[in-house]
Amino acid sequence: QVQLVESGGGLVQPGGSLRLSCAASGIIFSINNMGWYRQAPGKEREMVARITSGGTTNYSDSVKGRFTISRDNAKRTVYLQMNSLKPEDTAVYYCSARNPVANYWGQGAQVTVSA
């Protein structure tokens, strides 16, 4: 059974930082491209950051320079370090694992940026 379990969300003030983690089980983690997506109320889900099995990263323009995605294959975990958070970063953040035959999602973690 595939499981992606996000943790690390919460409430933070503007300008603050959070680190999200996504622990994977039931998949061969090292061969999967991993990603973070987010969905704000009333909006569509959007890509935030992705990292390939080889370690290549890409980011949405809205988070470039503020967020960093990384992965630890030994721990089967992908991370999203979020700095200089803004109120518009408020959303549910989802972890994704993708390979040529399947795409998996976590249950989501709420991130709220508010004073």
Where b means 16+ CB within 10 Å and e means fewer, 57-89 reads eebeeebeeebbbebeeeebbbbbebeebeeeb
**5 vs 101: CA distance, rounded Å:** 21
70 Cβ contact list (under 8 Å, min separation 6):
51, 78, 79, 81
Which pLDDT belongs to residue 86? 98
- Better pLDDT: 31 or 14: 14
Tens of pLDDT, residues 33-90: 999 999 999 999 999 999 999 999 999 999 999 999 999 999 999 999 999 999 999 9
Which pLDDT belongs to residue 12? 98
Which pLDDT belongs to residue 2? 93
Which pLDDT belongs to residue 33? 97
